[in-house]
Structure 1
Amino acid sequence: MRLSRILAAGLLAVTAISTQAVTVIHNFSGYQTTDTALLQFSAMAFDQGKVLETGNLTALDIKYPKAKKIDAGGKTLLPGLVDAHGHMLGLGQLNTMLDLRDQSLKDTLQSIKQHAKSLEPGEWLLGRGWNQVTWPGKQFPTRAQLDTLELNHPIWLRRVDGHAGWANSKALQLANISKNTQAPEGGEILRDSKGKPTGILIDNAMSLLQKAIPSPTLTQEKKSLQNAFSKALTLGLTSVHDAGINEKTLNAYSQLAVEDAIPIRVYPMLSVDSHNYAKLLRAGHIGTPAKRLYMRSIKLSADGALGSRGAALIEPYHDRPREKGLLLYPETKMLALLKLATDNNFQVNVHAIGDRANHIVLNHLETLNKAKSQKEHRHRVEHAQVIELKDIPRFTQLNLIASMQPTHATSDKNMAGDRLGEERLTGAYAWKTLLKQGTPIAAGSDFPVEPANPLFGLHAAITRRDRQGNPSKGWRTEEAMTLEQALRAFTLDAAYASHQEQVIGTLEPGKFADFILLDRNIFEMNPQEVWQAQVLETWVEGERVYRKAL
């Protein structure tokens, strides 16, 4: 199918409007955050996929006497949760690759050896999730450790943050990466004392190896996206902002939309590295806020990540005084790519983790703002992780959205101090400071970097502790959110960040009946246990699309 036909097809409705009679669901503890308050309710009426009103059963019984009634059995009801920064293809591909999250180095090597038994000879062994920061010595691994496994496979394993990769010698050979290979701008090839590649490639240098890996077919990408849809629904996610897709993945989404095969709402961000980037921008937005597929934004990564020391810092790394991280684009090119997006009426969403990257991105957005107000675009800084204190007020001055991931703070709490030193942590993971000045936070997880479960994010946001309860009093708790703020960040403000707050984000009359039922009341339980709550049911447009097996 020609691209023009695929893009046009993306404008078609992807779900039929239900013609069922009015339904009233009742006997639950309901919560939603509106522009003014946290509202509680115990009954809700909906019809043809949209909310009619919320309140109590007595009042709704009078107004809708013939309604079909559903007893929720005393469970907790929330608006469908929104992940404002995830990677759907990566989540779906976890089913076919090795997941190394939370494993020791010894267990990692053993998992690799075991996984190889399921592959054909010579087939690429792919995985992700390793994190050297949790290993003794905290040193990057090397190709030698993979080579000692004596496997007949090229091996490529992406770090947990996705900004570094670990290869064996066979993979390096297939990619023609040797002592003489130069790293591209914005990337780094780690080398041993003799100048030979150690097997670790950082940020833009990863592309040198990844081009040697066979690309998935369009059919395979569609299958991976469908796997991700199914996973999201089990976790109570009814909407996801897909943080950076290329032209092929856009085609996959568009075909799935035509096939009426997108069961959640997806807000993809077109990667600036996409083939035909300019042409796709000129083609305009895809869909509308009410469609399951809606694209009107781009994604640019300004720097790398703290864990792999690719985040661009103003001052050197505390634990590596000669390094300041990496900018992934020259500043002039970065501005040109952003301007091309705004010239075509696209929102820009820019990954910025280090304080230098955040400063440069803010400068660029200020430059763009002089030509045209960006309030209508709702530009976003993705992660906004380490910010100089003097730069924080600029988020409000420029009408920006901070797209942040609460579980990053609880995963990074030990490593961040090593990388930055205690003094620079003042402007890091600064949720409360941003909220106090009026900057909306669109919350997400950055899955599969972190687990996709949004309840893990709610827990991290309010406790600043990991799921094991560490540290016992929380990490830099002065920046914790209230549960009301965290719920809003995962619902209404995340919907605002995708220009969809008029159709989702709350259960106000006229909005879609996207909601979830939990097995316990997160507003009445021990905050440290919030992550343990289970999603029992997920509903999209008044249709139950997931029910947990009991």
Structure 2
Amino acid sequence: MKKLILLFIIPLFFACNPKEEVDLIVYNANIYTVDDDFPKACCVAIKDGKFVAVSENADIYKKYKAKEELDAEGKTIVPGLIDAHCHFYGLGLNQQVVDLVGTTSFDEILDKVVAFQKERPSDFIRGRGWDQNDWEEKEFPTKDKLDELFPDTPVALRRIDGHALLVNQKALDLAGITLDTKVEGGEIVIQDGKLTGVLVDNPMGLVDAIVPQPSRAQQIQALKDAERISLDYGLTTVNDAGLARSTIELIDSLQQAGDMSIRVYAMVSNYPENLDYFLNKGIIKTDRLDVRSVKVYGDGALGSRGAALKAPYSDKPGHFGAMVTPVDEIGALAERIAATDYQMNTHAIGDSANVVVLRAYKKALEGKPDRRWKVEHAQVISMEDFDYFKLGIIPSVQPTHATSDMYWAEDRLGSERVKGAYAYKKLLDGAGIVALGTDFPVEQVSPFLTFYAAVARQDLDKYPEGGFQMKDALSREETLKGMTIWAAYSNFEEGEKGSIEPGKFADFVILSDDIMTVPVSEIPNLKAEQVFVAGKKLK
């Protein structure tokens, strides 16, 4: 009789405790969860776009049954990768202009422009990606040959960092630029009493004002192209460093309609009409769009000698670079933004620009804890200014800038000043976190190149031997955190993404190899084999 009762109770127990049905179980994986203790797991259960369970063993099946299962075949899974500083929309627009990245001479640029114009004739020729530092003659080009080739068609070719523009005479005429034109915060380059066609920083706006604006169809195509490229590399969230209201609203509409899946942290471009609208409206937050920050430009770029330095450039006596936004205006902006819930994220390359920004942050944030304001790039810092980062200010840096600039950075800065440049470990020691990005399309989109540059601080030919200023290299764990949980924290999003934990969005990437153990030299060759956003496979 007792046996009969027992046989009756057992099925009744299991009937009362049925397994919870989930949408997906991923098993047989090497999962780096990137939560507080950085443990590993083998299995996850996903329901309604979020992780509901993470397990170190197959016990996950005792509680859950799945509509679908995925055998990861022992491959490595990491949280969805976050690019903490990029130009997502700009990447998409670049697919519609002449690609000048990797050109090794001005003649090669001319050949590409001519070929592009024959293939896709335009009334206004645009291109991006040249870098005179990669040429044998490392000087700015001039417009003379462009004038010969395109006397009646305006041409505007943007430098890879976006902080210099080469235009022909037709473009200068349309923009009203002459030898007498004066613009603060940059340079109209003049040589032998003539305009060279090179504009650095703020004067570029005169040409930008006459460039035909893309149609809505072109804008949508740009966003979809950028999403496709980003997802292909395992990026599930991108921080776009500077967007207009119209572009932000277009992104939102595409996401709401289900036509765009990637998550976007949108920094509002620092223009009066944008600030008047967004600061008054307050934070805008959906599952896929987060608008709560303002992107400000402090100075220009080191490669075009537009970065603002405390002392003259070592390779250009008497030249200090320039502030793009005046010092008093940065202070006023900081006070205005501090009075709202918005974050201030300021581009600062040179040591002078950095200290201006850091001082403004310190003053504006007094008595306002946990605001998580960022210094974008934080590229050249005087040794006495690193302590500012202990105040809760977050450095948002791009490791591939170090490996792109290392060939000439000391020429620009000198042997002493360069010691405070690209100092990611020192920044981490002060701030406690670093948010890592690429700055694409200034650099390549690949987060694996970011990871490699942070850890190895070498180029793909393993130069320099032993690495560039290795005292400031990051460990693999620090680097992965910088591309996931620390980047999420910098966006106030650590509660919903950045690690593989129950309750967070099921954004994750299956890699071709183990990023934490593969030989360093093989990191750039890693692939994002499968990419999931909210538990849905997008690649």
1:305–1:311: 8 Å Cα contact kept in structure 2?
yes
What are the residue-to-residue correspondences of 1:15-164 with 2, within 5 Å?
21-35=22-36, 37-65=37-65, 68-105=68-105, 106-120=107-121, 123-150=123-150, 152-164=152-164
Please say if 1:419 is aligned against 2:418: no
Please say if 1:499 is aligned against 2:498: no
**Residues 65, 276 of structure 1: CA spacing in aligned structure 2 closer, same or farther, 3 A cutoff?**
closer
CA distance in 2, matches of 1:411, 1:133: 10
Higher mean Cα deviation, 410-419 or 432-441? 432-441
Give the count of matched residue pairs: 519
Higher mean Cα deviation, 277-286 or 475-484? 277-286
Q: Find the partner of 2:344 among 318, 325, 348.
A: 348
1:22–1:64: 8 Å Cα contact kept in structure 2?
no
The residue type paired with residue 189 of structure 2 is L
2:187–2:200: 8 Å Cα contact kept in structure 1?
yes
Q: Which deviations, in whole Å up to 9, do the C-alpha atoms of 1:183-238 show, x marking residues without a partner?
A: x11021000112x2100000001001111111123443232112111111111000
The residue type paired with residue 319 of structure 2 is E
Shift of residue 261, structure 1, vs aligned partner: 2.5
Q: Which deviations, in whole Å up to 9, do the C-alpha atoms of 1:285-336 show, x marking residues without a partner?
A: 1115xx1011011010100000010100000000001100110122111211
CA distance in 2, matches of 1:378, 1:507: 23
1:185–1:329: 8 Å Cα contact kept in structure 2?
no
1:98–1:126: 8 Å Cα contact kept in structure 2?
yes
Shift of residue 152, structure 1, vs aligned partner: 4.8
Q: Which deviations, in whole Å up to 9, do the C-alpha atoms of 1:224-281 show, x marking residues without a partner?
A: 1121111111110000111011122122223223323330110101111253422321
Please say if 1:317 is aligned against 2:313: yes
Please say if 1:243 is aligned against 2:241: yes
- The percentage of aligned residue pairs carrying the same residue is 39
CA distance in 1, matches of 2:279, 2:461: 45
- 1:513 is aligned to 506
Q: Find the partner of 1:295 among 291, 298, 317.
A: 291
Q: TM-score, normalised by structure 1?
A: 0.91
State the secondary structure of the residue aligned to 1:421. Answer: helix
CA distance in 2, matches of 1:219, 1:150: 28
**Residues 534, 151 of structure 1: CA spacing in aligned structure 2 closer, same or farther, 3 A cutoff?**
farther
Q: TM-score, normalised by structure 2?
A: 0.93
Shift of residue 151, structure 1, vs aligned partner: 6.3
CA distance in 2, matches of 1:67, 1:254: 30
**Residues 401, 532 of structure 1: CA spacing in aligned structure 2 closer, same or farther, 3 A cutoff?**
same
**Residues 174, 509 of structure 1: CA spacing in aligned structure 2 closer, same or farther, 3 A cutoff?**
same
1:400–1:439: 8 Å Cα contact kept in structure 2?
no
State the secondary structure of the residue aligned to 1:38. Answer: coil
1:246–1:275: 8 Å Cα contact kept in structure 2?
no
What are the residue-to-residue correspondences of 1:143-222 with 2, within 5 Å?
143-150=143-150, 152-182=152-182, 184-194=183-193, 196-222=194-220
CA distance in 1, matches of 2:259, 2:272: 24
2:49–2:536: 8 Å Cα contact kept in structure 1?
yes
CA distance in 1, matches of 2:313, 2:471: 24
Please say if 1:473 is aligned against 2:466: yes
Q: Find the partner of 1:279 among 271, 277, 291.
A: 277
2:49–2:506: 8 Å Cα contact kept in structure 1?
yes
Q: Which deviations, in whole Å up to 9, do the C-alpha atoms of 1:509-539 show, x marking residues without a partner?
A: 1111100011111222111210100111100
Please say if 1:384 is aligned against 2:385: no
1:218–1:248: 8 Å Cα contact kept in structure 2?
no
Structure 2: where are the runs of 5+ without partners?
1-19
The residue type paired with residue 84 of structure 2 is A
State the secondary structure of the residue aligned to 1:446. Answer: coil
1:186–1:329: 8 Å Cα contact kept in structure 2?
yes
Q: Find the partner of 1:259 among 257, 262, 266.
A: 257
- 1:332 is aligned to 328
The residue type paired with residue 229 of structure 1 is E
Higher mean Cα deviation, 504-513 or 148-157? 148-157
The residue type paired with residue 313 of structure 2 is Y
1:431–1:480: 8 Å Cα contact kept in structure 2?
yes
CA distance in 2, matches of 1:364, 1:471: 37
Structure 1: where are the runs of 5+ without partners?
1-18
CA distance in 1, matches of 2:211, 2:523: 40
Shift of residue 57, structure 1, vs aligned partner: 4.3
CA distance in 2, matches of 1:400, 1:239: 22
State the secondary structure of the residue aligned to 2:72. Answer: strand
Please say if 1:541 is aligned against 2:534: yes
2:338–2:365: 8 Å Cα contact kept in structure 1?
no
CA distance in 2, matches of 1:329, 1:485: 33
- 1:365 is aligned to 361
Deviation above 4 Å: which 4+ runs of structure 1?
none
Higher mean Cα deviation, 348-357 or 429-438? 429-438
2:370–2:392: 8 Å Cα contact kept in structure 1?
no
Shift of residue 56, structure 1, vs aligned partner: 3.6
CA distance in 2, matches of 1:469, 1:147: 40
Please say if 1:395 is aligned against 2:394: no
The residue type paired with residue 515 of structure 2 is I
1:88–1:228: 8 Å Cα contact kept in structure 2?
yes
- 1:3 is aligned to none
- 2:4 is aligned to none
The residue type paired with residue 141 of structure 1 is P
Structure 1 or 2, whichever has the larger Rg, is 2
- 1:226 is aligned to 224
CA distance in 1, matches of 2:365, 2:282: 21
The residue type paired with residue 235 of structure 1 is Y
